[in-house]
Amino acid sequence: MLHLLPLSTLLLLRGILASPISQDEPLPLLIWHGLGDNYAADGLRSVGDLAEETNPGTYVYYIRLDEDPGSDRTATWFGNVTEQIARVCDDLASHPILSTAPAVNALGFSQGGQFLRGYVERCNNPPVRNLVTFGSQHNGISKYQVCDATDWLCKAYIGILKANTWGAWVQSHLVPAQYFRATNETTGEAAEEYLKHSNFLADINNEREEKNATYKENLASLDKFAMYVFEDDTTVIPKESGWFAQTNITSGDVTPLKERTIYKEDWIGLKKLDEKGGLDFKTTKGGHMQLDDEVLVDVFKTYFSPAKASWSGVVDEVQELIEL
């Protein structure tokens, strides 16, 4: 019997057959930096160099919101996160290399981790195969960072955040406010304020009554989602946010992800991902973003090596289609 393939499949076949893919070639790697950093920083570039050294041939793309490093750093503090992720979605979908890849891997540091998750849930084009986050605030923060004693600009900024977290201007202009969450509360006035006014986190965690099915579908499509928490993290409060845990910062009681409604009712696909073995909870020593090469190399080998996540999967799929 003759099987007619859909147009989208035929276009995929044409693109792949025109450019033969090595089964040993690693997928491209997206890296999104954290608060106060920029895409051109030496430390971030050294991470990319290590990724290429570990898995030769890795194409590394450093996500940025401006080509000027200074402006990119400013965007980690000031901007509308929803608009920022939409821009990244457009940039990646039109990138001459990334847009031709069957999939990519992704590495997010601190707030860059939940922003990459936002990318996966909201657009995921090109699709992410494996996502790894370090010290990210997946369940939000309950306290803003402490400024240095002489950093008056930081103190003024944090003062505005604390004074009017749920104000419309703050929620659309000051980045950390958009993943703030009163983690002591799951019901009551504080929780209602969060659900009503949160520009980013309440939406990306599908916490409102109307759920976005695409978010769940996209996140569950990952092969692996590994979440690293720093054992001595005092910057992200509570640190268990990196595992989607609910923490009462007054009592110190922690409700693990699997005991929460977001998991039990599978609002964003974490349960489905977990049931297929795709959800990893990891810890690493040190304070926030204190990473050594040994940990990173292990991540690159475990989650980003060609044997774990290569272009070969699409080759197998194409072969199956041809044999139909």
Tell me which of 72, 110, 203, 310 is the catalytic residue.
110
Q: What is the pLDDT of residues 92-135, one digit of tens each?
A: 999 999 999 999 999 999 999 999 999 999 999 999 999 999 99
Per domain, the residue ranges of the chain are 26-313
Catalytic residue among 37, 233, 266, 274: 233
How would you write the pLDDT of the chain (324 residues) with one tens digit per residue?
Answer: 434 445 444 444 444 444 444 457 899 999 999 999 999 999 999 999 999 999 999 999 999 999 999 999 999 999 999 999 999 999 999 999 999 999 999 999 999 999 999 999 999 999 999 999 999 999 999 888 777 777 777 788 888 888 889 999 999 999 999 999 876 656 677 788 899 999 999 999 999 999 999 999 999 999 999 999 999 999 998 999 999 999 887 888 899 999 999 999 999 999 999 999 999 999 999 999 999 999 999 999 999 998 654 444 443 443 444 344
Residue 288 annotated as catalytic: yes
pLDDT at 38: 97
Residue of 33, 203, 288, 310 marked catalytic: 288
In this structure, the strands spanning 254-255 and 128-134 are unpaired
pLDDT of 271: 98
Is the domain covering 26-313 a CATH 3.40.50.300 domain? no
Q: What is the pTM of this model?
A: 0.86
pLDDT score at 313: 43
